Structure 1
Amino acid sequence: MANVTIRNLDDGLKKRLRIRAAEHGRSMEDEARDILRAALSTTENRPANLATVIRIRMAPLAGVMLDLPQREPIRYAPDFSE
């Protein structure tokens, strides 16, 4: 088993950890170990790229229908030869 030392821990954070450990009936070390285990045991499936993130975010909106203007015939290039 490896050992980890956490330096410069905020006093308020340490106090909250101590209270949480007491509520669960265990030591601060065991509580910190449980918090780390829970936080790191979840596997997040992150989208591969920005387009996927946008598609997922916009999916509930079911897309947007736009009124497209009628197409006009192709214009001929001006003749500057004169």
Structure 2
Amino acid sequence: MATVNVRNLPDAVHRALRVRAAHHGRSTEAEIRFILEEATRPTGRVKLGSLLASIAREAGGLTDKEHALFESVRDKTPAEPMRFE
């Protein structure tokens, strides 16, 4: 991961960040990471799961019978961990 140093940060800004971090139960560093992630996250991005759910809602969704059919054929065996031998 990359590291960023911020020089000449005003004391009032640092103090506000510390208060905000404490309010959210995070360290100051974690709070700054959160702020940067929120600021750079694309707006209006549709996630695949949300898109599929909206398509299903528009199509009328599944009936109880269809849902039971999918559940009956779903593979429920636990996944095996990878082995590097």
The two structures have a TM-score, normalised by structure 2, of 0.49
Gapped runs of 5+ residues in structure 2? 45-85
Identity %: 52
The SS at the match of 2:22 is: helix
Q: Name 1:33's counterpart in structure 2.
A: 33
Considering only aligned residues, what root-mean-square deviation do their CA atoms show, in Å?
1.3
Give the count of matched residue pairs: 44
CA distance in 2, matches of 1:35, 1:25: 14
CA distance in 1, matches of 2:30, 2:5: 14
Cα deviation 1:33-67 (Å, max 9, x = unaligned): 000000111348xxxxxxxxxxxxxxxxxxxxxxx
Q: Which amino acid aligns with 1:30?
A: A
Larger Rg: 1
The two structures have a TM-score, normalised by structure 1, of 0.50
CA distance in 1, matches of 2:42, 2:19: 25
